[in-house]
């Protein structure tokens, strides 16, 4: 009996970059099982995959710890990862770029007298912190805006605001060098952000899927900012001559080229067959969920993810052959 080797058979390990102990524990429960104990290893943690005992799930707090050698082919997925990395914000003034710094915000309120004692009552919904324009140049305002011609071009525009993430650029450099060094593999970055403009005023907080102040309820609110995909692409190409970058493209286009519409229609037809045979999706609820999910992923309307989310690929130099999802075609043996 012949046994064909699948891609899963070639997976040595799955590496996750995660600094949060609570999120590591949640990921461990999903990937290794809730009762599996996570063990500490050099620079990180590990446990055995519940899908295959041959695959280890390994956590590191920093991308640099992931092993690299010519015998390993890296496939890297960064989904909603770069938006959580720190940014520096700057505004162009008459005196050059000035950094926006986090400072304590004035707590407006009023004095209330009770039992002969006056007490200042402040509004509970006022964030404790806010962004304040620096009065003088900072090291970051001197060093970061000159990094790219895109930023320099905005020096002519007074009050222009830009956001730069040096940590994102550093990580993209490592990703590019890892793929270029291996001469194989790929990286797929999917996130929300800009493709033809520099991010500005995008710092936000997210709590229970609602936008809020990034300075409210510290420790409870997720803080994120738009990803500058053009800056990532520039950094990847600059970091290694052995890679090429494709995209960014809108998520709607990326998923469309991967066949999301055809896959959705196929699944709906299968549900209809089951319903016609008297089992499964009796009232069509599952079909409605599929269509709703498809519309949310590719829709470019308010509330849709198709336009605001982008996809970017970093691959070894392939002489102009585009990857699938970025204009390339699915190819394979016809026999």
pLDDT tier, 145 (very low <50, low <70, confident <90, very high otherwise): very high
Q: Which residue is listed with tokens 């505004």?
A: 91
- And the tokens for 137? 């140049």
Which run of H or E residues covers position 223? strand 222-224
Q: Is the separation of the CB atoms in 137 and 96 below 8 Å?
A: yes
Q: State the pLDDT at residue 220.
A: 83
Q: State the pLDDT at residue 291.
A: 93
Q: Which sign does the torsion angle of CA 244, 177, 45, 48 carry?
A: positive
User: Of 64-68, 78-82, 140-144, 249-253, which gets the smallest average pLDDT?
Assistant: 64-68
Q: How far is CA 333 from the centre of its chain?
A: 34
pLDDT digits (tens, 9 = 90+) for 234-283: 999 999 999 999 999 999 999 999 999 999 999 988 888 887 776 766 66
Q: Is the separation of the CB atoms in 292 and 304 below 8 Å?
A: no
Task: Give dist(CA 87, CA 69) in Å, integer.
Answer: 31
Q: State the pLDDT at residue 186.
A: 95
pLDDT digits (tens, 9 = 90+) for 176-203: 999 999 899 999 999 999 888 999 999 9
| Furthest-apart CA atoms within the chain: distance in Å | 92
| Of 198, 190, 121, the residue nearest 155 (C-alpha) | 198
CB neighbours (10 Å) of residue 63? 16
């Amino acid at each position: 009996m012949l046994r064909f080797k699948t891609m899963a058979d070639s997976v040595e390990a799955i590496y996750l970059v995660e600094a949060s102990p609570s999120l590591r524990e949640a990921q461990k429960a999903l990937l290794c099982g809730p009762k599996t104990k996570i063990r500490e290893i050099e620079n990180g943690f590990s446990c055995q995959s519940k899908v295959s005992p041959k695959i280890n799930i390994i956590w590191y707090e920093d991308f640099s710890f992931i092993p690299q050698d010519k015998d390993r082919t890296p496939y890297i997925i960064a989904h909603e990862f770069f938006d959580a990395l720190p940014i520096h914000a700057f505004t162009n003034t008459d005196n050059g770029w000035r950094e926006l710094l986090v400072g304590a915000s004035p707590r407006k309120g009023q004095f209330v007298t009770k039992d002969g004692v006056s007490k200042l009552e402040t509004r509970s919904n006022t964030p404790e912190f806010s962004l304040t324009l620096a009065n003088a140049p900072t090291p970051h305002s001197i060093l970061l805006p000159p990094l790219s011609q895109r930023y320099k071009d905005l020096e002519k525009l007074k009050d222009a605001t830009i956001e730069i993430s040096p940590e994102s650029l550093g990580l993209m450099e490592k990703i590019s060098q890892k793929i270029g060094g291996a001469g194989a593999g790929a990286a797929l970055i999917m996130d929300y952000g800009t493709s033809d403009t520099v991010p500005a005023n995008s710092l936000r907080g997210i709590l229970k899927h609602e936008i809020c102040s990034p300075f409210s309820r510290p420790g409870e609110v997720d803080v994120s900012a738009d990803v500058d995909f053009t800056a990532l692409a520039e950094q990847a190409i600059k970091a290694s001559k052995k890679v090429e970058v494709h995209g960014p493209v809108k998520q709607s286009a990326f998923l469309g080229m991967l066949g999301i519409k055809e896959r959705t229609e196929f699944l709906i037809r299968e549900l209809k067959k089951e319903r016609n045979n008297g089992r499964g999706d009796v009232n069509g609820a599952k079909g409605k969920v599929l269509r709703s999910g498809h519309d949310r992923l590719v829709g470019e309307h308010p509330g849709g993810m198709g336009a605001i989310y982008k996809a970017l690929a970093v691959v070894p130099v392939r002489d102009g052959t585009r990857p699938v999802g970025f204009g390339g075609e699915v190819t394979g043996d016809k026999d």
